[in-house]
Structure formats: structure tokens, C-alpha cells
Amino acid sequence: MLIKNAAVTDAQGTKTADILIKKGLIAKVEPNITADGEEIIDATNLAALPAFIDLHTHFRTPGFEYKEDIESGSKAAARGGYTFVNCMANTKPVCSSAAIAQSVMDEAKRVNLCGVNQVVSITKDFDGKTVSHLTALPKNIRVISEDGKGVQSNYVMWQAMKIAAEKNLIVMSHAEDMDISPYDYRLAENIETARNIFLAEYTGARLHMCHVSTKEALQSVLDAKKRGVKVTSEVTPHHIWFADTPYRVNPPIRTAADVEYLINAMKNGEVEAIATDHAPHSPEDKANGAPGMVGLETAFSICYTKLCVQNKMPLETLSKMMSRGGAEVLGLNKGLIKEGFDGDITLVDLNESYTVNPDDFAGKSHNTPYAGETLTGKVKMTIKAGKLTYMEEKQC
């Protein structure tokens, strides 16, 4: 594939160039590349970004396919400009084994629209106490998480982190002290964040803090990094777009002061990744109080509008958090438009505005608070390993 006349932007800068992709990898990035039998895409007036990577996704397979499945989730990801996602373990059955994880990843390969890494639960079947299954995990299992609940026992989390340090696993933390969260969810996140940081510092484990939403929690992460703790963080689009609203998510939407603190830290390059926490639900489940929203198909537009248009963040900084940062956390050869990197590209129109209509979503679920919002910056095409996985209809 040859992409012509693009405004090429990644974490390292912006330039006008052509992009040649051969055998799934970027072969050249320079002006005026001559076509030699390649499929040609004219990207005049479009920005070419490294395709997005989501560290925090729920595709609901196995067990909750009525909300989302690998194919519908992959289509949603592709429409949102994503070519790789990291799927959480709160499925049915809980993903507590390499066999279940591999079955999810194999199905994603069959669908072949979006790469998937499947996370394994920290405790077996989310029982809150058993971590012996972690010792048998093969090397292709890279991440463990108790997302949706968090590990409540200090001792159990300490044991899990010791194993993670020995096996070089990434521990992704949903920070919530569930004894406290019914009374004060802010305190619940802040306490669990501090605890997990101290355990990571003690054990030497690699820790990634999911959906950080309070200024105190993020400050704990930043202070820990200064001490040399191996900790990274992600922020969701909805935790920077909304403030003081009751839409049910976990952790909750926070205050305007939290939003300001998160955005400033992101502008300063102190947050590694933007992650959607894409959480599909049926209308019935959502009406019954299920927390979460879908996010893959709106993430870029929300972040570009809020961060770049409204808060004057350079596009290069946004690209780093949506692409390269997640790739570095997971150890992927992605996230830069540079010779030798995976040929995963998202083409966007930075000037187009549109109104969010959930009926247009490619995913099965439409639980979004963004319906009716007017956003700037629209994904036009997504390319994975040199092959189109999504093209907006009017571009066809």
C-alpha cells in the first residue's frame, strides 16, 4: 500500500510525506514515493497518524456476546481508528487461564480487523484469594488484572505482584477499596492506588494504573515515578470530557478540578496512555445500573476536540498517548510512522465536525452519553498491516 500526500504526525513530529507499506511493515516515509504496483490511497487534506492502541477494552467474549463479541468489537475498534486492543478478564467464565485467553486471541486473528491481547485475572475466577494459576502462565500472556473489582486483600495482591515480578507480567490495577467505595469512591480510589504503588515498589513488579480519575491518585503515580517505581497510567476520554455528571461509570465522573489536573498532566507528557474502558451493555443492563459506556468509536474525536481544539495540546502529544504510549506499555512494534514499524495507520480529517449518532455505531451496544455532542476530527480510514479495515462510506 502507498499512502500519498499525507500530513504525517506521530509522537516524534509532523511532516508532509508519502508512506509505503510492504509485507505489513512501513518501508519508507518520504516525499514523492513512486508507485510500483501498490494499492494507492490519496490522503490529501488528511492527517496520517499511527493507528490507535487501547489498553483497556471489554469485548465481552466469552459469555456476554449479546453485549459485544470479537467481530462487533473489532468493527467498532476499526471504525474508531484502532488496530490493537487489550481485553479485560471479567467475562463468563472469567478469563483465568491461558486456554481461554488464547481462544479469544485466536478468534481475533480469524476476524482479522484488530489485534487483541487477552488479559488473565489476578485471582482465579475472581475469587479474591487464589493466585497459583499465575505461576503456570506461558510467556505469551503478558498482562494480569482484576478489572471491575480490584484485589481487596493486601496479602493476595502482594503474592500476585511477587509472581508478576518473577514472570515479567504487567499488573493492571483497578483501584477501588470496595469496603469504602459505597461511602466515598474518591477515597476508595486514592487508598487503593497508594497501596498498589507501595506493593509494586516493594516487589519490583510492573504496575499500570487503569482509568485514573482523581488528582490525588494521579499525583501518587507521578510521585512514585520520581522514586523509580515501575508504574504507568491511563486516563479515559470520559474522565476529561465530563465533570460533575451522574452518568454511571466506574470510577465515577469526577469534579472540574480533577479534569483540569488530568488535562494539565496529559499536556505535560506525564500520562502514558489514553484508554477507552470500552464497556458495552444492553439497554436493559444499563437501565438496571450497569456501569460503563462504549468508547472506541468516539475516543479520537472526544480527545482531539477536548485536548487539541479546546486546550491547545499539540497533535503529537495526543498521538503519543493514543498510540506510542500504549505500544510501549505492551512492548509492541507500533505507534510510530517510521521505517520498520508495523504498517498500522489511521487517516483522519482534523477539520471535519460531526454530531454523534449512536445508530451509526459498528458495535452491538449504544450505551453512550455522547449522543448529540458535536465533535471535531473524524476517522476516515483505518489500515492494519497495509490493509484497509475501515473506510468511511462517503470515502468509498
Instruction: List the catalytic residues.
Output: 277
Which amino acid makes up residue 23?
A: K
Q: Are 381 and 41 in contact (CB under 8 A)?
A: yes
> Which CA distances in Å does 186 have to 66, 255, 280, 330, 341?
32, 10, 24, 28, 40
**End-to-end CA, the chain:** 16
Q: Is 13 left (phi over 0), alpha (psi -120 to 50) or beta?
A: left
Q: Are 34 and 254 in contact (CB under 8 A)?
A: no
Residue 166 to residue 386: CA distance in whole angstroms? 37
Residue 370 to residue 149: CA distance in whole angstroms? 26
Residue 321 to residue 314: CA distance in whole angstroms? 11
CA dihedral 237, 346, 343, 143 (to 10 degrees): 20
Q: Where are the beta strands (DSSP E) in the chain?
A: 2-10, 13-22, 25-30, 40-42, 47-50, 52-57, 82-87, 115-118, 120-121, 143-145, 170-173, 206-209, 231-235, 273-274, 345-355, 374-384, 387-391
